[in-house]
Amino acid sequence: MKHRTALLAALTLALGAAALAQPALQKGITIAFLPKQVNNPYFTTAWKGGQAAIKEFAGVGKQVGPSDAGASSQVSYINTLLAQRQKAIVVSASDANALVPYLKRAMGQGVKVVTYDSDVAKDGRNVFVSQASADTIARDEVKLLAKQIGNKGEIAILSATPNATNQNAWIKVMRDELTKPQYKDMKLVKIAYGNDDDQKSFTEMQGLMQAYPNLKGVISPTTVGISAAARYLSGSPYKGKVALTGLGTPNQMREFVKNGTVQGFALWNPEDLGYLASYAAAALVSGQITGKEGEKFSAGKLGQRTIGKDGVVILGPLTVFDKSNIDKFNF
Amino acid sequence: MSVPNRPKRSLLGWEATILALVALALLLGSTLSDAFLTAANLSNLSSNLVEIALIALTMTLIVIAAEIDLSVASIAGMCSALLGVLWAAHVPMPLAIVLTLGLGTLAGFFNGWLVTRLGLPSLAVTIGTLALYRGLAYALLGDRAVADFPPFWTNLGFGLVPGTQIPIPIVAFVLLAALTAVVLHATPFGRSLYAIGSNEVAARFAGLRVERTKLLLFTLSGLMSAFAAVVYTFRFSSARADNANGLELSVIAAVLLGGVSIFGGRGSVIGVIAAVFLIGIIQNALTLADVPNEILTIVTGLLLILSVLGPNLSAQLKAAYGRRGRAAKGGAQ
Q: Are B311 and B319 a contacting pair, CB within 8 Å? A: no
Which among B238, B242, B288 has the least Cβ separation from residue A97? B238
A67 lies in the same domain as A170: no
CA A141/CA A98 separation, integer angstroms = 33
Q: What is the pLDDT of residue A56?
A: 96
A91 lies in the same domain as A166: no
What are the φ/ψ torsions at residue A320 (nearest 5 degrees)? -90, 130
Q: What is the pLDDT of residue A39?
A: 83
* Residue A11 predicted with pLDDT over 90: no
CA B101/CA B76 separation, integer angstroms = 10
A118 lies in the same domain as A167: no
- Residues 6 or more apart whose CB falls under 8 angstroms from that of A229 comprise A158, A194, A201, A202, A205, A218, A220, A244, A246
A193 lies in the same domain as A109: no
Q: Is A8 part of a structural domain of the chain? A: no
Give tens-digit pLDDT for A252-288.
999 999 999 999 999 999 999 999 999 999 999 999 9
Q: Is A10 part of a structural domain of the chain? A: no
Q: Is A13 part of a structural domain of the chain? A: no
Query: pTM for this structure?
Result: 0.81
A120 lies in the same domain as A222: no
Q: Is A328 part of a structural domain of the chain? A: no
A102 lies in the same domain as A193: no
CB-CB under 8 Å, B242 with A80? no
CA B101/CA B168 separation, integer angstroms = 19
* Residue B185 predicted with pLDDT over 70: yes
Q: Is A11 part of a structural domain of the chain? A: no
* Residue B9 predicted with pLDDT over 70: no
The 10 Å CB-count burial string (b at 16+, else e) for B151-165 is eebbebbbbeeeeee
A37 lies in the same domain as A157: no
Give tens-digit pLDDT for A105-164.
999 999 999 999 989 999 999 999 998 888 889 999 999 999 999 999 999 999 988 877
- Residues 6 or more apart whose CB falls under 8 angstroms from that of B149 comprise B87, B93, B233, B234, B237, B239
Q: Are A88 and A64 a contacting pair, CB within 8 Å? A: no
What CATH number does the domain containing A216 carry? 3.40.50.2300
Q: What is the pLDDT of residue B8?
A: 47
CA A262/CA A246 separation, integer angstroms = 10
Pairing type for strands A215-220 and A243-246 reads: parallel
Give tens-digit pLDDT for A36-56.
888 888 899 999 999 999 999
Mean pLDDT of A315-330: 92
Q: Is A45 part of a structural domain of the chain? A: yes
A308 lies in the same domain as A194: no
Which among A38, A79, A83 has the least Cβ separation from residue B293? A38
Give tens-digit pLDDT for A42-91.
899 999 999 999 999 999 999 999 887 666 789 989 999 999 999 999 99
Of A246, A267, A288, which marks where a domain is finished? Answer: A267
Q: Domain residues for A159?
A: 134-267
CA B69/CA B251 separation, integer angstroms = 10
CB-CB under 8 Å, A100 with B237? yes
CA A269/CA A328 separation, integer angstroms = 11
Q: Which of A34, A62, A72 to mutate to probe the B interface, most B CBs <10 Å?
A: A72
Q: Is A327 part of a structural domain of the chain? A: no
Q: What is the pLDDT of residue A70?
A: 67
A41 lies in the same domain as A113: yes
* Chain B partners within 8 Å of A68 (Cβ): 245-246
* Residue A298 predicted with pLDDT over 80: yes
* Residue A32 predicted with pLDDT over 80: yes
A235 lies in the same domain as A275: no
* Residue A212 predicted with pLDDT over 90: yes
Q: Is A12 part of a structural domain of the chain? A: no
Split into its structural domains, chain A has a count of 2
Q: Which amino acid is at A112?
A: K
* Residue B311 predicted with pLDDT over 70: no
A223 lies in the same domain as A255: yes
A178 lies in the same domain as A149: yes
* Chain A partners within 8 Å of B153 (Cβ): none
Higher pLDDT, B308 or A156: A156
- Of A4-8, A312-316, B100-104, the poorest mean pLDDT is in A4-8
* Residue B182 predicted with pLDDT over 90: yes
